[in-house]
């Protein structure tokens, strides 16, 4: 019987265990007394050497039948092991927890250990890797499923049992003496077999994952505390700034306007803490401003507004801001002068002809005070772009110097209402703060929609064909585009188009001349397309006898309109204009060129097919609707006539109060002072 090894069969799972096993290797049941012994024949040629002590000399590790067979260090099968105080299971010497119930080992050297285990330590054992797995189970940070209460591995994103997603706060630190419920090899199916080397690598990998999960959790907790501290330090202006940054990325202009209206700095830069709060590294970087974000996400409309706002380094002080009471009275005056005409073309119109000009008293101020005044009332960037970069205004020395017709770009709000603000600035010197002009624009477009629609459709068709775009839209498409134009007029802050300028010319009952850049350009100087704003807008749907021939001038620069106004003079007898001008000294005349710097006639917008013709025909049309003259240099110009505000004392009072602030900086000698000095000299 030397080739026979007697095994015993478990009464619960019928697993055949080795004779030396006191518990079932599969189900861990206690070996009963009087077990049924089965015999298994190992042929001598099957690779097993005949051994007289075959029944007792080969041991199997208690965890799996696949574990390596080793020689015992002692004759007894229990030597070097320690007994668990809870379940009495015999564990290997290096195990710090019980393999069966995971109870903590009570003391390092038990009564069952031999001197060999208490001295320099037990000899190296291949089965110690399974004890290492026991130690790993105590360290693993499992998370409990909220649906089925199953404890899952830290790396699992969903529950293994019910597939429920892991909650965000699933990682909770486990107490050192809390028994782990990690499924061991027996629970997962003891049939899986691992070599000692692969099991050891797996144990090391799982230890690294557990350590990484713990460190990751600590970093998350630190980040959460840091973000909480940052939020506690945030003020209302800081939150408005972050909302404005997000608004630029998402195209929400209202968030940017809310930050501006609160007095926020447009040139403010994002800090690293604010970038962490926004939590979108692909969009936000430290040091970025709203302008940088608008450039990155190609928000052209916002960019024009932001650049204009950033460029205003000096504190602005325009006449309309000096005396709010007078400004409100002027607004009521404008509302009272708005009427709607009866008949088929029931468009709104203004009953008063008013043209705003800078007072001549500015020239009496000292040069330093004049410079400060112009910095606060003018838009220097617009002035520079229209004068130097594009040569749109003040390019003629004859008009600017000899005829004293230099144009000045007034500063206005950098919102989508810049067109309406500039129109009221060029006439009454105030903003359209109460949207009175916008309401009149909206009502006129809707009440006279069929009139303006036919002009707009005919003009757009001709314009597309003139550029070689040989296509025609369906009527549904025309109606959709027209509905969009109507919707813009009703939205405060919405950018307006050429059609709206054409309607405003009818409300004012006078021509509007727009001097603007011809091309859209990128911020690298690349030409993107035509702007189509420059030209003359005539109130063609009114009778000529119902309109005034004195135009107003506007400037257009990259999505922004500015009022272009002249300065009062003591008459124009010394101007030498090549026209017979019969006016009195109470009227200031500003000569507005009707040609560009290349001496080409400015385009007249929204002409019908009958009105379109040669350049001579368009020049005759301009002469019919405007007071025109030809200068000594042969330039066709329109005459803008403005009175000394004799009929509008409110504007006079507003300008006088505005100038008083600059007069007090450097008082000018008065006439009485001069007379007193002469009297002293006579004495």
CATH code, domain carrying 526: 3.90.70.80
In a domain, 154, yes or no: yes
| Least confident interval from 38-52, 81-95, 280-294, 371-385 | 38-52
What kind and span of H or E run contains 453?
Answer: helix 449-466
Q: Model confidence over 391-434: pLDDT tens digits? A: 999 999 999 989 999 999 999 875 568 999 999 999 999 999 88
pLDDT at 331: 93
Asked whether residue 681 carries a pLDDT value surpassing 80, the answer given is no
Q: What is the dihedral of CA 661, 662, 666, 668, to 10 degrees?
A: -100
Backbone angles phi, psi at 117, to 5 degrees: -85, -20
Work out whether strand 348-350 and strand 338-340 pair parallel, antiparallel, or are unpaired: antiparallel
Q: Which residue has the higher pLDDT, 223 or 563?
A: 563
Q: Which residue has the higher pLDDT, 560 or 580?
A: 560
| Long-range interactions of 158-164: CB distance < 8 A, separation 24+ | none
Backbone angles phi, psi at 185, to 5 degrees: -65, -35
Confidence class of residue 383 from pLDDT cuts 50, 70 and 90? very high
pLDDT at 183: 36
pLDDT at 591: 96
In a domain, 486, yes or no: yes
How far does CA 143 lie from the centroid of its chain?
A: 38
Q: Which residue has the higher pLDDT, 243 or 227?
A: 243
pLDDT at 210: 58
Please choose, from the candidates 653, 642, 515, the residue with its C-alpha nearest in 3D space to the C-alpha of residue 583: 642
In a domain, 301, yes or no: yes
Q: In sequence order, which residues have a C-beta less than 8 Å from that of residue 588 and are 6 or more positions away?
A: 357, 566, 568, 569, 572, 641, 642, 643, 644
Confidence class of residue 333 from pLDDT cuts 50, 70 and 90? very high
Please choose, from the candidates 338, 548, 484, 366, the residue with its C-alpha nearest in 3D space to the C-alpha of residue 424: 338
505 and 577, same domain (yes or no): yes
285 and 200, same domain (yes or no): no
Task: Compute the average pLDDT of residues 116-126.
Answer: 42
Asked whether residue 516 carries a pLDDT value surpassing 90, the answer given is yes
| HEC sequence for 562-628 | EEEECECCCCCCCCCCCCCCCCCCCEEEEEEECECCCCCECCECCCCCCCCCCHHHHHHHHHHHCCE
Asked whether residue 99 carries a pLDDT value surpassing 80, the answer given is yes
Which of 17-21, 320-324, 350-354, 472-476: highest mean pLDDT?
A: 350-354
Task: Compute the average pLDDT of residues 33-38.
Answer: 53
Task: Compute the average pLDDT of residues 553-568.
Answer: 92
Q: Which residue has the higher pLDDT, 357 or 50?
A: 357
Structure tokens at 46: 């099957």
Confidence class of residue 312 from pLDDT cuts 50, 70 and 90? very low
Asked whether residue 386 carries a pLDDT value surpassing 80, the answer given is yes
In a domain, 55, yes or no: no
Distance CA 667, CA 89 (A): 106
| Least confident interval from 113-127, 363-377, 593-607 | 113-127
Asked whether residue 250 carries a pLDDT value surpassing 70, the answer given is yes
| HEC sequence for 424-443 | HHHHCCCCCCCCHHHHHHHH
Task: Compute the average pLDDT of residues 119-141.
Answer: 49
Asked whether residue 73 carries a pLDDT value surpassing 80, the answer given is no
Q: Which residue has the higher pLDDT, 502 or 75?
A: 502
294 and 406, same domain (yes or no): no
How many structural domains is the chain composed of?
3
Asked whether residue 382 carries a pLDDT value surpassing 70, the answer given is yes
pLDDT at 468: 57
Domain C-terminal end among 189, 209, 232: 232
Task: Compute the average pLDDT of residues 141-164.
Answer: 83
| Least confident interval from 56-70, 80-94, 281-295 | 56-70
Confidence class of residue 190 from pLDDT cuts 50, 70 and 90? very low
Domain C-terminal end among 232, 257, 283: 232
**CATH for 246:** 1.25.40.560
In a domain, 469, yes or no: yes
Confidence class of residue 52 from pLDDT cuts 50, 70 and 90? very low
How far does CA 300 lie from the centroid of its chain?
A: 13
Question: What is the percent of the chain where pLDDT is above 70?
Answer: 70
pLDDT at 683: 40
334 and 400, same domain (yes or no): yes
In a domain, 38, yes or no: no
Asked whether residue 171 carries a pLDDT value surpassing 60, the answer given is no
Q: Which residue has the higher pLDDT, 89 or 671?
A: 89
Task: Compute the average pLDDT of residues 340-352.
Answer: 93
Asked whether residue 528 carries a pLDDT value surpassing 60, the answer given is yes
pLDDT at 675: 45
Confidence class of residue 283 from pLDDT cuts 50, 70 and 90? confident
Which of 27-41, 138-152, 176-190, 269-283: highest mean pLDDT?
A: 269-283
For residue 380, CA distances in Å to 316, 384, 387, 410, 419 come to 11, 6, 10, 9, 18
What is the rounded radius of gyration, in angstroms, for the C-alpha atoms of the chain? 46
Confidence class of residue 499 from pLDDT cuts 50, 70 and 90? very high
Q: Which residue has the higher pLDDT, 105 or 499?
A: 499
Asked whether residue 634 carries a pLDDT value surpassing 90, the answer given is yes
189 and 241, same domain (yes or no): no
364 and 295, same domain (yes or no): no
Task: Compute the average pLDDT of residues 376-400.
Answer: 92
pLDDT at 525: 67
292 and 408, same domain (yes or no): no
Task: Compute the average pLDDT of residues 144-163.
Answer: 83
Report the b/e string of 155-177 with b at 16+ CB within 10 A: eeeebeeeeeebeeebbeeeeee
Ranges of H-type helices in 113-195: 115-118, 128-139, 185-189
User: What residues act catalytically?
Assistant: 418, 560
pLDDT at 220: 66
pLDDT at 500: 96
Q: Which residue has the higher pLDDT, 60 or 496?
A: 496
Asked whether residue 74 carries a pLDDT value surpassing 60, the answer given is no
Q: Which residue has the higher pLDDT, 129 or 546?
A: 546
In a domain, 670, yes or no: no
Asked whether residue 474 carries a pLDDT value surpassing 60, the answer given is yes
How far does CA 356 lie from the centroid of its chain?
A: 39
216 and 255, same domain (yes or no): no
Write down the mean pLDDT value for the chain: 76
Distance CA 379, CA 401 (A): 21
| Least confident interval from 59-73, 483-497, 612-626 | 59-73
Which of 99-108, 294-303, 337-346, 642-651: highest mean pLDDT?
A: 337-346
Q: Which residue has the higher pLDDT, 59 or 610?
A: 610
Helix axes 300-310, 253-261, angle to 10 degrees: 10
425 and 385, same domain (yes or no): yes
What kind and span of H or E run contains 316?
Answer: none
128 and 273, same domain (yes or no): no
Distance CA 331, CA 425 (A): 12
490 and 457, same domain (yes or no): yes
Task: Compute the average pLDDT of residues 100-127.
Answer: 53
214 and 330, same domain (yes or no): no
- Answer whether 29's CB lies under 8 Å from 12's CB: yes
Distance CA 399, CA 261 (A): 39
Q: Range of 416's domain?
A: 319-663
In a domain, 162, yes or no: yes
Domain C-terminal end among 187, 207, 232: 232
Task: Compute the average pLDDT of residues 332-356.
Answer: 93
């Amino acid at each position: 019987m030397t080739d026979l090894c007697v095994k015993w069969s478990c009464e619960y799972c019928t697993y055949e265990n080795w004779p030396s096993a006191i518990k079932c290797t599969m189900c861990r049941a206690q070996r009963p007394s009087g077990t049924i012994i089965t015999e298994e024949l190992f042929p001598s040629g099957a690779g097993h050497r005949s051994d007289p002590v075959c029944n007792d000399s080969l041991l199997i590790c208690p965890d799996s039948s696949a574990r390596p067979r080793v020689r015992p260090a002692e004759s007894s099968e229990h030597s070097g092991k320690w007994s668990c105080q809870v379940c009495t299971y015999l564990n290997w010497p290096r195990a710090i927890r019980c393999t069966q119930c995971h109870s903590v080992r009570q003391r390092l050297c038990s009564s069952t250990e031999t001197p060999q285990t208490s001295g320099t330590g037990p000899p190296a054992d291949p089965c110690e890797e399974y004890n290492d797995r026991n130690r790993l189970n105590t360290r693993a940070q499992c998370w409990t499923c909220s649906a089925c209460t199953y404890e899952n591995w830290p790396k699992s994103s969903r529950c293994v049992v019910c597939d429920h997603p892991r909650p965000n706060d699933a990682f909770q630190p486990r107490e050192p003496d809390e028994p782990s419920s990690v499924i061991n090899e027996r629970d997962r199916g003891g049939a899986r077999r691992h070599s000692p080397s692969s099991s050891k690598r797996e144990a090391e990998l799982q230890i690294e994952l557990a350590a990484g999960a713990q460190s990751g959790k600590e970093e998350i907790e630190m980040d959460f505390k840091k973000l909480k501290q940052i939020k506690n330090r945030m003020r209302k202006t800081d939150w408005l700034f972050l909302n404005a940054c997000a608004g630029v990325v998402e195209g929400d202009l209202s968030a940017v306007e809310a930050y501006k209206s609160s007095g926020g700095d447009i040139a403010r830069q994002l800090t690293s803490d604010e970038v962490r709060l926004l939590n979108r590294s692909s969009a936000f970087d430290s040091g970025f401003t709203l302008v940088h974000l608008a450039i990155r996400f190609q928000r052209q409309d916002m960019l024009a507004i932001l650049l204009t706002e950033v460029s205003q380094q000096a504190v602005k002080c325009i006449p309309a801001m000096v005396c709010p009471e007078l400004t409100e009275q002027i607004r009521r005056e404008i509302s009272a002068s708005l009427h709607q005409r009866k008949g088929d073309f029931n468009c709104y119109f203004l009953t008063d002809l008013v043209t705003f000009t800078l007072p001549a008293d500015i020239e009496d101020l000292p040069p330093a005070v004049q410079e400060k005044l112009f910095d606060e009332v003018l838009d220097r960037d617009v002035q520079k772009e229209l004068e130097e970069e594009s040569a749109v205004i003040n390019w003629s020395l004859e008009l600017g110097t000899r005829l004293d017709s230099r144009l000045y770009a007034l500063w206005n709000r950098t919102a989508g209402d810049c067109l309406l603000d500039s129109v009221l600035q060029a006439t009454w010197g105030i903003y359209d703060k109460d949207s009175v002009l916008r309401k009149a624009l909206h009502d006129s477009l809707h009440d006279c929609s069929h009139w303006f629609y036919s002009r707009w459709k005919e003009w757009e068709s001709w314009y597309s064909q003139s550029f070689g775009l040989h296509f025609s839209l369906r009527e549904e498409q025309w109606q959709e585009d027209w509905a969009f134009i109507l919707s813009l007029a009703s939205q405060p802050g919405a950018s307006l188009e050429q059609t709206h300028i054409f309607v405003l010319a009818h409300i004012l009952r006078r021509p509007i001349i727009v001097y603007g850049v011809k091309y859209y350009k990128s911020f690298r100087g690349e030409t993107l397309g035509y702007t189509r704003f420059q030209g003359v807008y005539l109130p063609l749907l009114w009778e000529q006898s119902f309109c005034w021939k004195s135009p107003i001038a506007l400037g257009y620069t990259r999505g922004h309109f500015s009022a272009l106004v002249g300065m009062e003079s003591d008459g124009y007898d010394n101007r030498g204009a090549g026209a017979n001008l019969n006016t009195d000294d109470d009227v200031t005349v500003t000569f507005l060129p009707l040609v560009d710097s290349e001496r080409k006639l400015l385009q007249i917008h929204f002409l019908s097919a009958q009105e379109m013709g040669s350049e001579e025909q368009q020049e005759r049309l301009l002469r019919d609707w405007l007071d025109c003259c030809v200068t000594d240099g042969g330039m066709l110009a329109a005459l803008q006539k403005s009175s000394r505000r004799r009929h509008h004392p409110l504007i006079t009072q507003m300008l006088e109060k505005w100038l008083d602030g600059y007069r007090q900086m450097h008082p000018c000698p008065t006439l009485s002072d001069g007379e007193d000095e002469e009297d002293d000299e006579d004495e």
